[in-house]
Amino acid sequence: MVTVNEAKQRIIANTEARTATWLPLAEAVGSVLAEDVIAPIALPPFRQSSMDGYALIHSDITENGIALQLAGESRAGQAELPDVRPGTCVRIFTGAPVPDSATAVVMQEHTSVTDGRVTILEFPVGEGKNVRRAGQQIAKGAVALPAGTPVSAGAVGFLKGMDITEVAVHSKPRVGLLVTGDELLKAGEPLVPGKIYESNSDMLKAALGQTGIGEVTVSYASDELEATIEALGKLLETHDVVLASGGISVGDYDFVGKALEALGAETVFYKVRQKPGKPLLFGKKGDKLIFALPGNPASSLVCYYEYVLPALRKTMGAREPFLRSVKLPIRHAYRFDGERDEFLKARVEGKEVVSLDGQESFVIGSFAVANALIYLPVGQNQVAAGDLVEVHLLPV
């Protein structure tokens, strides 16, 4: 049995970032950049107005109420611009190019117009006011986004504004999921005594989808050794990461560990000193990663977030693969006995964290409203209300 930190270190040490592939920008969302993206142009490419108003020479405004002669206009997309001479101004709109001779823009709310003359109701007017400099957002040749940056909707907008249409990203791993358990029913089957509806596959597929992995192969195996060996073997042939849900404890019908051994997989560790989720196995076969997760749904999801997700993120090139961790005061006192660290389903509310009811490993309902996990090591097995605790923020 290993500690929580030992488990995480071993997983990361045995995980490598995948090779780079070029994808169209829209298809790269959810992936991580494998190379720096260099700006091919400056943004903005020319001086722009940040306001609807009037472009002028700032030194013309020597007092409040100066009137200037209107000498034309500049609108978005306009190429040929009027000249701004001393004593004149130009009507301008947000995003429009600022004439070279203009040094500032006064917003229209600070002006009045009568018979072609514009009275400036502002003083002083600073040089460069309401003018976006060429390259103010990014200079040509600069690193627009460094390697390791996730491709988000904002990244798409930023890069597309420079006419970047494809990027090099780490390829996403192919993930296969094996579900075991003779007690499990598939959707739509009639409920009979001794059976329960299988939910872990859809739960884990949803979690994988949050990571940008939308295609997951799901297989099922009965609680028999040969069936488990066959199902796992097929998944390992065609997938980079294989998850098994259930069948990893020490019961008479738990065959995942034996099946992996029969398939020649290496066990990096088995069992973690934690609650819930003790019977977690991490292994490898060649360059394939294997995670055998507990069957209880809350245990399975805790292990996914704390161990599987960081491994997936590392294969996809993330610089910070683990859940973001913060220290927050806990609202209610909590105490536990035993020699295992505990993860509590929790909710961050304002500037504190609340441990939720229903912490048992089979209770998944509390996870439905959780947005965090509280991590309490054995040395912090008793906390009072208001004590600072380590909080791992869940993906949203």
Q: Compute, in degrees rounded to 10, the torsion defined by CA atoms 314, 317, 320, 324.
A: -70
**Tell me: the pLDDT tens digits for 359-382?**
988 889 999 999 999 999 999 999
What CATH number does the domain located at 20-43+136-170 have? Answer: 3.90.105.10
Distance CA(267)–CA(285), nearest Å, equals 9
- The domain locations on the chain are 4-18+172-315, 20-43+136-170, 48-132, 325-393
104: which 2 tokens? 């500032």
Tens-place pLDDT, residues 143-157: 999 999 999 999 999
pLDDT for the residue 132: 97
Question: Residue 192 has what pLDDT?
Answer: 84
Residue range 4-18+172-315, CATH number: 3.40.980.10
Q: What is the mean pLDDT of residues 184-194?
A: 82
The yes-or-no answer to whether 4-18+172-315 and 20-43+136-170 have a common fold is: no
DSSP, collapsed to helix, strand or coil, labels residue 248 as coil
**Structure confidence at residue 37 as a pLDDT band (50, 70, 90):** very high
Say what the pLDDT of residue 388 is: 98
pLDDT at 191: 87
Query: Distance between CA atoms of 239 and 242, rounded to whole angstroms?
Result: 7
- pTM score: 0.82
Query: What's the rounded mean pLDDT across residues 207-220?
Result: 92
Mean pLDDT, residues 329-336? 96
Report which DSSP code applies to 308: I
Phi, psi of 55 (to 5 degrees): -85, 135
Query: In degrees rounded to 5, what are phi and psi of residue 307?
Result: -125, -50
Q: Compute the mean pLDDT over every residue in the chain, rounded to the nearest whole number.
A: 94
User: Quick one: pLDDT band at residue 252, thresholds 50, 70, 90?
Assistant: low
In the CATH hierarchy, which top-level class contains the domain 48-132? mainly beta
Domain 325-393 is found in CATH 2.60.120.480: no
pLDDT given at position 253: 57
Scanning the structure block, which residue is given the tokens 């990361």? 12
Q: Are 33 and 148 in contact (CB under 8 A)?
A: yes
Please name the residue that has the structure tokens 């600070």. 110
pLDDT at 135: 96
